[in-house]
Amino acid sequence: MYNKISIRNQMKETLSRLTKPQYEDYSYKIACMLFEDEAWKQAQVIGITISKQPEVDTYQIIRKAWELGKQVVVPRCNPKEKRLAFRTLNEFSQLESVFYGLFEPIEELTTKVDADRIDLMIVPGLAYTREGYRLGFGGGYYDRYLLNYRGETLSLAFTDQLVPEFLVEDHDIPVSKIITNHGVINIK
């Protein structure tokens, strides 16, 4: 089994070598495949993070969701409890920069949305196995959230983010599919 800390460090290094043209090209290809996915087409409420390079670009995905009349909800972290709360996002000006330069919804301008109202959760991560397990950034926020989430889950990843394996723990919850710049990996 591979050590999670070393995988995180290795993946950050690998992703830092993506050129801007590669990043844009791969993100675009992933978004196009997402837009053809049945889970995306059926979903009316979509949970998604605001990406920070080198994560797959989600700004174009959020814009497309708005164009299609879908409701977009993005996470706000509660670092004391290491919990997420998803809030509506109707325009990018409803975001503020918080911890580590991440953008989160401004509470006064957005509304909380319960997990049972979210049809599709696009789950972020740093590394993934072909079995749908993901290695996040180390806070465990999504693992806690997904315990009580019953909707569809998928992740967006550059092919370089796929790893053979890492130690899977009892609390790890796999996503149903991973969309990469080379295709879709269906897990369930």
State how far the Cα of 24 lies from the Cα of 177, in Å rounded to an integer.
22
Pairwise CA distance, residues 20 & 87, whole Å: 30
State the pLDDT at residue 18.
94
The C-alpha atoms of residue 34 and residue 76 are separated, in whole angstroms, by 24
Mean pLDDT, the chain, rounded, equals 93
Confidence of residue 3 (pLDDT cuts 50, 70, 90): confident
pTM: 0.94
- H/E stretch holding 74 reads strand 71-78
> Is the per-residue pLDDT at 43 higher than 70?
yes
What would the mean pLDDT of 147-176 be, rounded to a whole number? 92
Beta carbons within 10 angstroms of residue 160's beta carbon = 17
**Using CA atoms, how far apart are residues 140 and 120, in angstroms rounded to an integer?**
19
User: Is residue 2 scored above 70 in pLDDT?
Assistant: no
| Beta carbons of 106 and 96 less than 8 angstroms apart | yes
In a 13 Å sphere around the CA of 133, the CA atoms on its Cβ side amount to 14
| Average pLDDT of span 157-168 | 92
**Looking at domain 4-182, does it have CATH number 3.40.50.1260?**
no
